Every structure is written in C-alpha cells, then in structure tokens.
Structure 1
Amino acid sequence: MTSPTDSFAPRTRVVHGYERAYRMAGRGPALLFLHGIGDDSSTWLDLLASLSADFTVIAPDLLGHGSSAKPRADYSVAAYACGMRDLLTTLDIDRVTVVGHSLGGGVAMQFAYQFPERCERLVLVGSGGVGAGVHPLLRLAAAPGAGLVLPLLGTPPAVAALRGVAGLLRLFDDADLDYVLTRYARLVEPDTRSAFLRTLRSVVDWRGQVVNMLDRCYLTEGIPTLLVWGTEDRVVPSGHALRAHRAMPGSRLVLFEGAGHFPHRADPERFLEILREFLAQTPPARYDRGRWGKLLRAGRPVEAPETAGVPDVPTVSSGT
C-alpha cells in the first residue's frame, strides 16, 4: 500500500461563504469519498494514495467536520448532498462515483437521489439510511441534554471509563474503539460539538435512525451499487446490508468477516481490491429522464419477505 504524500494535504474552497476542506489528487474518472459522522477525510488516505494513479480522487471534510467550517447551519443529509454538488461544481467535476461510509453512505444515497445525472456508481460502506437500528451510544448522544456531557468525553477519566464499558459490553471491537475515541476527543471543542449534535439529531433520535432511504432504493436500478459491511458492525448492524441488498436492484454485497464498522480500515488492501474490481466491471450509469420517470410512476416494488434469502453474498476475511 502506497503511503500518503503531501499531495493529499487538505485544500480549501469557499462555498456559500463557508470554508470547505478537501483532499484531491490524480487524474481520470472521478471518485468522491464521504466520511462518517465525527470523522474526516483522513479516514480514506491509504485508499486515495493507491487510487490516484488511475482516478481523480476527492475526499472532502463535510461541513462541521475536520478542517471545514462549523457554522450554525443546516446539517441535514439533503443539505450535505447539495453541498457536495456545489463543491464538485467549483472543482469543474460533473460526474462521480460516490463512496460513502456510515453517515457518508446516507449522503451518497441522497446525492444519487437528488442528482442522478451526476452519479455514475454508488459504494456504500456500513451505511446509514437503510434501517432504524443504530449504536445505543449514538441514541444517547442524540438525547436532550447530551451536549452537557459530550465535553467530558475527551478527558482521560472519561476515555478510560468508555474503554472499560465498551469492552465489557462489546460495544465496539478494539480497532474501532481506539479509532472512535480519537475522533470523539474532538468534541471538547464547542463548535465541533455543536456541529456534531446538529448532524446527529438530523438523522438519529432515541428510537434510532430517522432518515430511511429504503422507500427510494428502487431508483438505484441502473446505477451500479456495491455494498460493503463488516459482519461485526455494531454501529450499523450487518442486517442492514442484507435489507439494502434486497431493496437495490442489481446491487453487489461483500461482507468482511470479523470486521466492525470500518471495513475499509480493517483491511484496506482487500477493500481496495474489491473497489477496483467493481469499478472495472461496471459501466458508469447514464441518466435517462424518461426511464427515471417510468420508475417513479411504477413506484416502489412490493418488498420481499424479511425471511427471504440473499444468494451469493461473498464473505472475505478482514485481516483483523
């Protein structure tokens, strides 16, 4: 795996008066990488370095995350999708394959729904937006008053307590836990904390996820779609992957055996191999307004029973 270089240092563009940080390199067909909540574009660095020889890779810090601005603003999934369209426009990029992890997967699906003419393929990694289930800690963080507690998460006693509780209750595997704790330590910063809460509460409440794209997943027919999930994902359980696979016509599903919520970090080389295969074997989607209208008029197909099998789901060892 090629090591990241200085060419992936964050750049900035001002969009709608707010500074947006992003990483960009390479040449060729464009790949847009979207990170999850509380994370930033650095989660993709190993993949960007390897792919930039053959593709134009773009990895933004979503508004409210990383080095991007953290204003009092709209942090809904739809607003994020519009933000991605506008950032791409400033970069003179019209069409992309969108790779989204967790919250970024929900943004990727929304991007494909709002701007199908700009989406060539979808790659959803442990994605939100395909069911209500979500990690109990995220439900708690979305509850009223959680903002008073979140600043404490970055303190050494709180980190030690979280590590102990998470280990005892098996809330995360070890690799995921270490990574998540480094990200949540940023919540001591008031602007970061505020943006995190606004983002979280736009998609999660005490009952779970409130944004569900399953009712529109049939519109991905004709858009090559790859689903990648860890079998031990406790943030967005792998059962969501099976549900999404059934709802997305022609989608491919690969499960990383033993991996948690970050399969692209658990085994980046295998993830890269699967992603390259998918890109090589699928032609980019071309938007057809008449076909889109026909799908909408036909409406969502009758759902398959939850007990129905999902054939031919590859499972690969994650290296963890």
Structure 2
Amino acid sequence: MDVKLTWHTTKVAGRAAHYGSGGEGPALLFLHGWGLADRAFAAALSRLIAAGLKVYAPALPGFGGTEDLPADERTLAGYASWVSAFVKEAGLTEPVTVVGYSFGGGVAIRTAHDFPEVVGRLILVNSIGGSSWSDGRGVLKAISERPLWDWGLHLRADLRPNRQLARVLPVILRDAVPNLIRCPGAIWRVANLARTADLTGELAELKRRRLPVVIVWSSQDNVIGEVALMSLRAGLGEARVITVPGGHGWLLADPGRFGEVITNVLTVAEET
C-alpha cells in the first residue's frame, strides 16, 4: 500500500478546493492550523496512512490553493459548513474521526457542534477554543482580550533556536509564504478568528452529547498555553489529555510521534 498522500482539486460549494488523501481503512479527517495547509503535514499524515487509516486532509478556505469563503461566511460557523460540504463531496457517509490542529481544532469543534452527523470522534491537537489566557504577570483574562501581538511574540518564542527548528522552520516557510502571497486577507482574518475564539457553549453541548473527545497537548507550547488547555478541558468536562514533548509545532518536528499518539488514541477507543 502507498503510504503517501496524493493531491487533488475538487469543487466544494461551487469553489475550488485542494486536498490530500491516501490509505485504506477507517476514515480520518485532518484539519490544519493557521498559516499552513495540507501539504505541510504530509510527513505526519503518512504515518497514519501506514497505520491503516484512510486520511483526508483538505486545505481550508483561503489556504493551500482552496478558494476563500464568501465575505459573509468568514466565521468559524462558515468554516464548519465548508468542512461538512467537503465531507459530502469526498463521499464520506458515516461519522468520521476528526483531528483538528490549532485553528483547525476550533473548526473541528464547531463542525462537531453544528453537524453531529459528520463527526464521530474528536482529537484536538494544541487546539484553540478555550475561554481563557494568562498574561505575562499570571493574570487570567478572557481569550478575546489577548492582543494579536501577544500571539506573535509567543509564536516567535515557540520557534526559538533549538534542535527542532531545522525541521519545523523550512516546512512553515514553504507553506506560509505562498499562503500569504495568494490570500493575505485570509491570513489576518483567520488569525483574528483564532485570537478571539471562545467555544465554551459549543464545548458544553459536545459534553452533553457525550461525544468522544481526546486532547493532545505539547508541554512547551508557547503559542496557546496551559491556561487555554485547562479551560478547553474544563469546557469538555475533564476530557482525557495526552501530553507530549515539544512546542506548538511538535507534529511537524516529530511526525513519527504524532502518528504513534493518534493511532494509540484510536486503538484505545476501539478497545473500550
């Protein structure tokens, strides 16, 4: 079996959409983070294909060659609606496991909330959606109060020189720069969506439905942080958390660990 993604272009809601797919077995939908797109995660996702999963990795609207959403749909609800339409276009008729990373985690939460027929299980990887953040003095504030420059400072700290930088930075630059050139407006709009995303109500509803949710977090994440993790977990009713080493981009730096963690989560789910 070929363990690599192959790349395709289709139409979703009448607009061009780019996506990667590959493998055989149970379906898994991967939603990428801010500034990047599907190709950046090819190495990590190939591990899931090798483990016997059928992986779908769309480039979200405004990224990776997928057309941006109409102006009145550029919200988390609009992204969730697009994901639902993509799932139908891909021919997936059963609820799927959705892995959402960073901004993609927020989209995954909203998709599970708005389209319960689409999502059978959530795996949130360093995801946005928590209601709180902490400033440099340890003061807790609402996530909507976090200034954009603070996200930028922590992203820079997350990419400070270390043994992972040589792996992560080339991947980020290869994806982020073309995205910025193709659709600069989407970069800034999505950054603002991520900065202000408080999905407390959606998380409470997923808790009420008892949707299976696992949170995967990296212990040195300088971008989102432990307070956001705690509020995300609390909103879900103390969801299971798996902690891994590394910064916000750990799955780019260590694709093998990503594949191992996700397949372990799914194996445990099948056994319970």
Q: TM-score, normalised by structure 2?
A: 0.80
SS of match in other structure, 2:122: strand
TM-aligned CA deviation for residue 28 of structure 1: 2.0
Larger RCO: 1 or 2 (CA < 8 Å, sep 6+): 2
Q: Counterpart of 1:91?
A: 90
**Which whole-Å CA distance do the structure 2 matches of 1:14 and 1:32 have between them?**
17
Q: Which amino acid aligns with 2:177?
A: A
**Which whole-Å CA distance do the structure 1 matches of 2:244 and 2:113 have between them?**
27
**Which whole-Å CA distance do the structure 2 matches of 1:58 and 1:42 have between them?**
12
TM-aligned CA deviation for residue 131 of structure 1: 2.9
- 1:198 aligns to 2:189 (yes or no): yes
The unaligned stretches of length 5 or more in structure 1 are: 143-161, 285-320
Conserved 8 A contact 1:15-1:87: yes
TM-aligned CA deviation for residue 106 of structure 1: 0.1
SS of match in other structure, 1:271: helix
Conserved 8 A contact 1:4-1:46: no
Change (3 A) 1:268 1:138: farther
SS of match in other structure, 1:273: helix
TM-aligned CA deviation for residue 25 of structure 1: 1.5
Greater shift, 47-56 or 105-114, is seen at 47-56
Select the residue among 52, 61, 64 that pairs with 1:63: 61
Conserved 8 A contact 1:225-1:250: no
Q: Counterpart of 1:46?
A: 43
**Which whole-Å CA distance do the structure 2 matches of 1:66 and 1:98 have between them?**
19
Change (3 A) 1:132 1:283: same
TM-aligned CA deviation for residue 181 of structure 1: 4.4
Q: Counterpart of 1:270?
A: 257
SS of match in other structure, 1:82: helix
TM-aligned CA deviation for residue 16 of structure 1: 2.2
Conserved 8 A contact 1:232-1:238: no
TM-aligned CA deviation for residue 32 of structure 1: 0.3
Change (3 A) 1:177 1:251: same
Q: Counterpart of 2:74?
A: 75
- 1:228 aligns to 2:220 (yes or no): no
Conserved 8 A contact 2:158-2:248: no
**Which whole-Å CA distance do the structure 1 matches of 2:2 and 2:174 have between them?**
21
SS of match in other structure, 1:117: coil
Q: Deviations over 1:254-282 (max 9, x none)?
A: 2223x111222232222222211111121
Greater shift, 171-180 or 91-100, is seen at 171-180
- 1:30 aligns to 2:27 (yes or no): yes
Change (3 A) 1:265 1:3: farther
Q: Deviations over 1:220-254 (max 9, x none)?
A: 33222111112221211133222222322362112
Q: Counterpart of 1:297?
A: none
TM-aligned CA deviation for residue 141 of structure 1: 9.9
Q: Counterpart of 1:154?
A: none
Conserved 8 A contact 1:4-1:45: no
SS of match in other structure, 1:98: strand
How many residue pairs get aligned? The number is 252
- 1:216 aligns to 2:220 (yes or no): no
**Which whole-Å CA distance do the structure 1 matches of 2:44 and 2:171 have between them?**
17
Q: Which amino acid aligns with 2:178?
A: R
Conserved 8 A contact 2:132-2:227: no
TM-aligned CA deviation for residue 86 of structure 1: 0.6
Q: Counterpart of 1:12?
A: 9
SS of match in other structure, 2:64: coil
The unaligned stretches of length 5 or more in structure 2 are: 134-142
TM-aligned CA deviation for residue 138 of structure 1: 7.4
TM-aligned CA deviation for residue 172 of structure 1: 3.0
Select the residue among 223, 227, 233 that pairs with 1:245: 233
**Which whole-Å CA distance do the structure 2 matches of 1:220 and 1:272 have between them?**
25
Q: Which amino acid aligns with 1:193?
A: P
Greater shift, 62-71 or 45-54, is seen at 45-54
**Which whole-Å CA distance do the structure 2 matches of 1:236 and 1:226 have between them?**
17
- 1:21 aligns to 2:3 (yes or no): no
**Which whole-Å CA distance do the structure 1 matches of 2:21 and 2:243 have between them?**
28
SS of match in other structure, 1:100: strand
Largest Rg, 1 or 2: 1
Report percent identity of matched pairs. 27
- 1:102 aligns to 2:102 (yes or no): yes
**Which whole-Å CA distance do the structure 2 matches of 1:137 and 1:220 have between them?**
25
TM-aligned CA deviation for residue 215 of structure 1: 2.9
Select the residue among 185, 191, 202 that pairs with 2:177: 185
Select the residue among 258, 265, 279 that pairs with 2:266: 279
